[in-house]
Structure 1
Amino acid sequence: MSPLFQQLCSLYPPLGQLCSPRMLVAFLMGFSCGLPLMLTGQVLQAWMKDAGVELTVIGLYALVGLPYTCKFLWAPVFDRFIPSFLGRRRGWLLSVQIALALALVGLGQSDPVAMPWLVALMAALVTFFSASQDIVVDAYRREDLSDAELGSGSALYISGYRLGMLLAGGGGLILADFMPFSRVYLIMAFLMGIGAATTLFCPEPPLRQGTPKNFRESVIEPFLDFFRHNRALLILLFILLYKIGDQMATAMTMPFYLDLGFSKKEIGAVVKLFGTWAVILGGIAGAAIMLRTGLVGGLWLFGFLQMASIPGFIVLAFVGHDLSWLAAVIAFENLSGGMGTAAYTAYMASLTNVRFTATQYALLTSIMGVPRVIIAAPTGWLADTLGWPLFFTVCTFLALPGLMLLPVIAPWRGKAD
């Protein structure tokens, strides 16, 4: 560590925390988790639209993301059993990362017109192994970081996650202008090696409270333990609603940009690659702000910012094909959305019991994923029926119910339940 950096850390101690090896691991694992999401989302949407698949069918393909909403069903396996290599968290993580890379190769070799059933099957396998990776990474992060580090660690994880999404989405779309989508998916499968290398070289978190010993301890007790929590049902409702407006708005942004006349190259360069800087800034800013405001302050501030970003799409719908407006809207959405998700995931991590981390975190993040998968499925029909401006108006108002629960779940100047 250089003398200058040591001096900066002495003036601002949180800087040393943000630059620790554990934070680097959180960032790289976030990258590995974010990469597959766009490959069954916006990149797959662009591929199908290029192939002439109808918009309503494209919207229905959001259902292949169901594993993200029910991953708590198999999460107890990752708490209960320990692989014979690398330990409980790293052994499972490396296994699902290899399977995920192979599923991405299989998806890339499918044809959305000639074999739509095979595309759906391979996309579902990608989301299954991607959801499994999320389960183990979330558990690893909760067990590796102290309570004081959860906010900044979650912010850097989200920064890496969004970077992976942007690289897969933006880089994938740019590459698709020069090569077939099948080759794009091969390249993305190769990039999963970054996550595998991180898994091999990071330390295994200590096993502080042992593992569940039987069916009741691994499957039943995690849920009983959570529902002993004060206001458990309100907490679940808050998790369901906090990002619903933002998630519904972004579910159909790819067809929206294409309808406005933006080319895949413009979308990749402006929406994805330019947005990378906003994501990185959002992750760093979110970590720094939560070190000052705490988790509760972050939930309030970032929640209102992510709602305020949605009307930007309404403005863009009226402006039309304008790269400067596109850049401004995307920068704000990525910045606020990244910070909101950082506070959101840190809050969920704070609710878990370290003995059942994988199962309880999977339950909470499954509920978090419901708007992205179930509620997002009819967004194509809704956008067709209402038109883009009214569609994004509805998404803005849908962000309000989650914010209205904040005074109960996380009162200002209080402590989050």
Structure 2
Amino acid sequence: MPIDSAKVEDANGKLREPFWKLFADRRLIYIFILGFASGFPWAVIGNAFSVWLSDAGLTRTSIGVLGSVTMIFALNFTWAPLLDRVKLPWLCARFGQRRGWILLAQAGVFLGTLAMAAIDPTVGVTAVALVAAFVVFGAATQDVGIDAYRIETIPASEPRGMAAAAAVTAAGWWTGAGLPGAGAFWLAGTAPGGWSTAFHFLALVMALLVIVTLLFLPEPESDREAQQAADEARVREALSKRRRPGRISTVVAWFTVTAILPFAEFVRRNGIKLTISILGFIVLFKIGEAFMGRMAAVFYRELGFSHQEIALVSGVMGWFTMTLFMLLSGVINVRMGIFKGLLISGVAMALANLVYSVMALVGPNMALFAFAVVADNFTTAFSTVAFVAFISFLTSQVYTASQYAVMASMGNLSRTSLAAASGWMVDMLAGSWAMFFFITTIMVTPSLVLLWWIRHQLYDRLGEVFYARQPG
């Protein structure tokens, strides 16, 4: 019988379609759109926010502290169980559990962005902090819903599809954070109204995303509710044996399944030691990138680059290379396994930061600026796709929002809360950007040592998805 020439054999002799064919899956279009929506808030409270405050005359330390409102991302696991269990009136009945919550969160991001356009940071920073916190809260809630949507749309039972989804959602994220952010930079430097016009533009983009989610995205199919109901029935039965009153047992059972069981199931499945090690790795892996990323736009401005130059190189060119590298990284990570993807990308991510040290010593040079952005984008894409795939495969299909949010929150801890000290660090180094970027280079080392230490346990847990062949 002839073999389909479009298929290839894996190491076990099984026929598989080439990886590129996975990108023809219609579901990846929905995942890309939601990835865009997930990245978009960072166009509002990321580099644009930092430069907006810098242009208003705020100090580096103040910018770093105000940017710490993004620590809300690290706390979204505390309300993530609600997105698994609570049905919003009308919204969830009309649009489904995942889309209902996503729409509510997107409406919050839209209103917060619109409010930011009306604020003058030179008058006072209290209003800036409150509105930024409102935007971040909506964005953090949106992330919980979007991550659950993606994992339920392409579950772990489709490992190659899930790896492709990790690449596509990451590409969408950087598109949403990059292109609108580049547009905002351009408008801030050229349009009447400056930053106010830029934030109005960003609000318009968010409004379009709400319309797309409302009209075009389907609700994913899942047996999540049936399994959660079965778990709740088991808890009620256990409570009834202890002669608890019916109403109390119902409330306690609902709370247990909503707030306790998702995390207890994760620990039971992985064991306490491996759970602690996994969360430790997640916190430490991107800490250097987080410190660097928080102050990157401020560094560009202090080095002498204009708004338009930042928009062109870091925004437009950065988006193009990042999107290309994200899709390429999906192929690479599937070929070599998540372990090698995390290990190699971690080392490369650290080395890329050294290019910024060179920039600080050389001064404003467009060719070096472009090279630094391309190098940083490749390593960021490589590490992000491996990281997203890693925590996606560790997530239960029953408590998707809760468990993914815990791991994503731990990752956000370094990107948001810990990185709030980035501006202070530059000030303590007397403004030595070269030394600052050198320090960020070595920050990844503890996470890579930890990953090497737990590689065997992770292989036992994830199999060939984690490592193309059993680790030695």
Report the Cα offset of residue 413 of structure 1: 11
Counterparts of 2:53 and 2:113, CA distance in 1: 16
Counterpart of 2:258 (choices 204, 218, 229) is 218
Given that 1:9 and 1:16 are in contact with CA atoms closer than 8 Å, whether structure 2 keeps it comes out as: no
Report the Cα offset of residue 8 of structure 1: 9.1
1:186 paired with 2:192, answer no
Counterparts of 1:54 and 1:391, CA distance in 2: 17
Given that 2:6 and 2:18 are in contact with CA atoms closer than 8 Å, whether structure 1 keeps it comes out as: yes
1:207 paired with 2:222, answer yes
Counterparts of 1:411 and 1:260, CA distance in 2: 45
Counterparts of 2:152 and 2:68, CA distance in 1: 31
Consecutive unaligned residues in structure 1, runs of 5 or more: 1-6
Counterparts of 2:456 and 2:370, CA distance in 1: 35
- Match of 1:112, SS state, is coil
Counterparts of 2:48 and 2:370, CA distance in 1: 19
Cα distance change on mapping 1:123 and 1:14 into 2, 3 Å: same
TM-score by length of 1: 0.94
Q: State the structure with more CA Rg.
A: 2
Counterparts of 2:413 and 2:373, CA distance in 1: 24
Given that 2:180 and 2:205 are in contact with CA atoms closer than 8 Å, whether structure 1 keeps it comes out as: no
Report the Cα offset of residue 409 of structure 1: 3.2
Counterpart of 1:404 (choices 434, 449, 452) is 449
Q: Which moved more, 1:202-211 or 1:272-281?
A: 202-211
Report the Cα offset of residue 348 of structure 1: 0.8
Given that 1:309 and 1:332 are in contact with CA atoms closer than 8 Å, whether structure 2 keeps it comes out as: yes
Given that 1:86 and 1:204 are in contact with CA atoms closer than 8 Å, whether structure 2 keeps it comes out as: yes
Deviations 1:266-312 (A, max 9, x none): 11111111111211111111111123123223222222221221111
Given that 1:69 and 1:365 are in contact with CA atoms closer than 8 Å, whether structure 2 keeps it comes out as: yes
Q: How many residues align?
A: 411
Counterparts of 2:65 and 2:5, CA distance in 1: 51
Deviations 1:220-279 (A, max 9, x none): 111111122131000000000111111111111111111111111111111111111211
Counterpart of 1:80 (choices 81, 85, 99) is 85
**1:69: which partner in 2?**
74
- Match of 1:329, SS state, is helix
Q: Percent identity?
A: 31
Given that 2:152 and 2:397 are in contact with CA atoms closer than 8 Å, whether structure 1 keeps it comes out as: yes
Deviations 1:366-406 (A, max 9, x none): 11011112211121111122211111111111111111112
Counterparts of 2:325 and 2:5, CA distance in 1: 21
- Match of 1:113, SS state, is coil
- Match of 1:253, SS state, is helix
Q: 1:305-320, aligned counterparts within 5 Å?
A: 305-320=348-363
Runs of 4+, deviation exceeding 3 Å: 7-12, 409-417
Deviations 1:64-108 (A, max 9, x none): 112101001111110012322111111111121122111110111
Amino acid at match of 1:142: I
**1:3: which partner in 2?**
none
Given that 2:342 and 2:386 are in contact with CA atoms closer than 8 Å, whether structure 1 keeps it comes out as: yes
Cα root mean square deviation, aligned: 1.9
**2:436: which partner in 1?**
391
Given that 1:152 and 1:286 are in contact with CA atoms closer than 8 Å, whether structure 2 keeps it comes out as: no
Amino acid at match of 2:99: R
Counterparts of 2:278 and 2:391, CA distance in 1: 9
Counterpart of 2:375 (choices 311, 332, 349) is 332
Counterparts of 1:416 and 1:174, CA distance in 2: 47
Amino acid at match of 1:316: M
Counterparts of 2:350 and 2:6, CA distance in 1: 34
1:171 paired with 2:207, answer no
1:252 paired with 2:291, answer no
Counterparts of 2:151 and 2:404, CA distance in 1: 9
Q: Which moved more, 1:257-266 or 1:287-296?
A: 287-296
Counterparts of 1:150 and 1:242, CA distance in 2: 21
Given that 1:155 and 1:339 are in contact with CA atoms closer than 8 Å, whether structure 2 keeps it comes out as: no
Report the Cα offset of residue 207 of structure 1: 2.2
**1:20: which partner in 2?**
25
Report the Cα offset of residue 328 of structure 1: 0.3
**1:303: which partner in 2?**
346
Counterparts of 1:286 and 1:318, CA distance in 2: 31
Counterparts of 2:402 and 2:199, CA distance in 1: 30
Amino acid at match of 1:380: G
Consecutive unaligned residues in structure 2, runs of 5 or more: 9-16, 233-253, 463-472
Given that 1:71 and 1:135 are in contact with CA atoms closer than 8 Å, whether structure 2 keeps it comes out as: yes
Cα distance change on mapping 1:92 and 1:48 into 2, 3 Å: same
Report the Cα offset of residue 193 of structure 1: 3.7
Amino acid at match of 1:183: T
- Match of 2:316, SS state, is helix
Report the Cα offset of residue 152 of structure 1: 1.4
**1:131: which partner in 2?**
140
Given that 2:287 and 2:419 are in contact with CA atoms closer than 8 Å, whether structure 1 keeps it comes out as: no
Given that 1:312 and 1:329 are in contact with CA atoms closer than 8 Å, whether structure 2 keeps it comes out as: yes
Given that 1:34 and 1:165 are in contact with CA atoms closer than 8 Å, whether structure 2 keeps it comes out as: yes
Counterparts of 1:35 and 1:168, CA distance in 2: 7
Cα distance change on mapping 1:288 and 1:198 into 2, 3 Å: farther
Deviations 1:316-338 (A, max 9, x none): 11111000000000011011102
Cα distance change on mapping 1:106 and 1:388 into 2, 3 Å: same
- Match of 1:202, SS state, is coil
Counterparts of 1:302 and 1:388, CA distance in 2: 23
Counterparts of 1:348 and 1:414, CA distance in 2: 14
- Match of 1:192, SS state, is helix
Report the Cα offset of residue 209 of structure 1: 3.1
**1:239: which partner in 2?**
282
